[in-house]
Amino acid sequence: MKFIDIIAFAGKNLTKKKTQSILTIIGIVIGITAMVSLISLGYGVQNYIQEETSKLGANKIQILPIKHFGVPPMHYFKYKDVKAVMDVKGVDKVLYGWYGGMNVKFGREERFANLFYAEPSALKSVYEDVGGYGIEKGRWLSDGDKYKCVVGYGVANNLFSKKLKVGDRIVINGKRFRIVGIMNQVGNPQDDNIIIIPLKVGEELLNKKGEYNYMMVKVKKGEDVKKVVEDIKNALKKSIGNDDFSVLTSDQLAKSLGGILDVLTLFVVGIAGISLLVGAVGISNTMYMSILERRKDIGILKALGAETTTILAIFMVESGFLGLFGGIIGLVIGLIIAKIIEIAAKNMGYGMVKAWISWELIVGVLLFSFIVGIVSGFFPARKGAKLDPIETLRGP
């Protein structure tokens, strides 16, 4: 029997029992839908992080007072640590300050927002060549500013019932600040929901004089960034007395955050795989039932000279089709769900949530679902292929 005849024979068997086939692939559909939507969103967020960190440029180095992400810092940077970084050969500018959160009032409304304070000149110098972090309206802070602030796009447009504009005043910890600038929309809540104030005012406001939890270094043109990173590590280790900190280039930061997302995506996809396992069991059960119902058909085919491998191929192609059909439906539904989540997240200000759609994902999912179907039907197919034609023709 030709391979095209095997495919036609398997397809004919599936169309005879449409209801049974549909019920069988439901488990595959659910599993593939969950996996596609989660993988699409997971890689979409990773791509966004890589794009955003690449905007910082290869000459930017971020320094955090933690060794591992997700672990609370055991200490914060002091000015002597900042000075140690400033003295490293190749360092052009050091942006240092405190990143946290605080309730903010506008009129009678009170909301929570991210707060960052740093030296205005350093802030402008470090971010002036970073794409996506510009000022949409107004200006950056100046070193002579005191109770003035720059707000993120989300703070200006979404935080309060009334949109903020340049010249409006907000209250932070009992102090009135005049808005002098509104930033462009970045796409993630951390940056869009931020309020930036001058370093000295921030230290007074939070009572954290000489204590910092963030540094960003701008490297001079022509300098070896990797060497500067190593020199900063050595200088900080000597200044702090331990190596409980992270010194990361933009690429390293993207890889670190991407690694965390990989683990989370893998974990959630593993849970979704349980549905796929249920679907695989369903295919296997259906193939066993199909073999019992078609014992005489198998006997006739063998009596006419069909080889064991031909019978095996018919049932494996049939089970493969069940997996493939479930994969196609699950793929379409999964991509639609991912796109709906992306649109909903964007409307809520979470521009970093994006659906990743590519030919690799589409081909990979369809191939995977087809293989799942074949593997699920292998043992029932082997059992059917080994049936004795005399026994099958004699009847149950």
Question: What distance in Å separates the CA atoms of residue 100 and residue 36, rounded to the nearest whole number?
Answer: 35
Q: Is 65 part of a structural domain of the chain? A: no
Q: Measured between alpha carbons, how far is 253 from 69 in angstroms, rounded to an integer?
A: 10
Q: Which two tokens stand for residue 42?
A: 């997971």
Is 153 a member of any domain? Answer: yes
> What phi and psi, each to the nearest 5 degrees, are found at residue 332?
-65, -50
**How many domains, the chain?**
2
Q: What is the pLDDT of residue 239?
A: 92
Identify the helix (H) or strand (E) that includes residue 28.
helix 18-56
| 149 and 220 inside one domain | yes
Q: Are 285 and 21 in contact (CB under 8 A)?
A: no
Residue at which a domain ends, from 218, 243, 268: 243
Tell me the whole-structure pTM to 2 decimals: 0.62
Shared domain for 230 and 136, answered yes or no, is: yes
CA dihedral 184, 180, 167, 152 (to 10 degrees): 30
Beta bridge partners of 98: 117
Domain presence at residue 63: no
Compute the distance between CA of residue 324 and CA of residue 366 in angstroms, rounded to an integer: 6
- Are 283 and 340 members of one domain? yes
Say if CB 184 and CB 135 are below 8 A apart. Answer: yes
Q: In tens digits, what is the pLDDT along the chain, a chain of 396 residues?
A: 565 655 665 566 666 666 667 777 777 888 888 888 888 887 787 777 666 665 555 678 888 888 866 667 778 999 999 999 999 999 988 999 999 888 999 999 999 999 999 999 888 877 766 656 778 899 999 988 989 999 999 999 988 999 999 999 999 988 999 999 999 887 777 788 899 999 999 998 888 888 899 898 888 888 888 899 899 999 999 999 888 888 887 666 666 666 666 666 677 667 666 766 766 777 777 766 666 666 666 666 666 666 667 777 777 777 888 888 888 998 999 899 989 988 887 776 666 677 888 888 888 888 888 888 888 777 776 766 565 555 555 555
Q: Are 105 and 260 in contact (CB under 8 A)?
A: no
Helix (H, G, I), strand (E, B) or coil at 307: coil
- Please give the structure tokens belonging to residue 49: 């992080």
Looking at the structure, tell me whether residues 324 and 238 fall in a common domain. no
CB atoms inside a 10 Å sphere around CB 270:
10
Query: H/E/C letters for each residue in 185-210?
Result: CCCCHHHHCEEEEEHHHHHHHHCCCC
Residue 212: the pLDDT is: 92
Looking at 209, 243, 277, the residue that finishes a domain is 243
Q: Which of 243, 273, 298 is the last residue of a domain?
A: 243
DSSP-H helix ranges across the chain: 3-16, 18-56, 79-86, 120-127, 153-157, 189-192, 199-206, 225-240, 250-293, 295-303, 308-347, 359-385, 389-394
- What angle (nearest 5°) sits at the alpha carbon of residue 362, between those of residues 360 and 366? 115
Q: Clarify whether residues 81 and 169 are in a common domain.
A: yes
Look at residues 60, 58, 65 and name the one whose alpha carbon lies nearest to residue 236: 65
Taking alpha carbons only, the member of 117, 95, 92, 113 closest to residue 104 is 113
* Residue at 166: amino acid letter: V
The confidence score (pLDDT) of residue 56 equals: 58
Amino acid letter for position 378: F
pLDDT of residue 122: 86
Q: Are residues 335 and 195 in the same domain?
A: no
DSSP state of 74: S
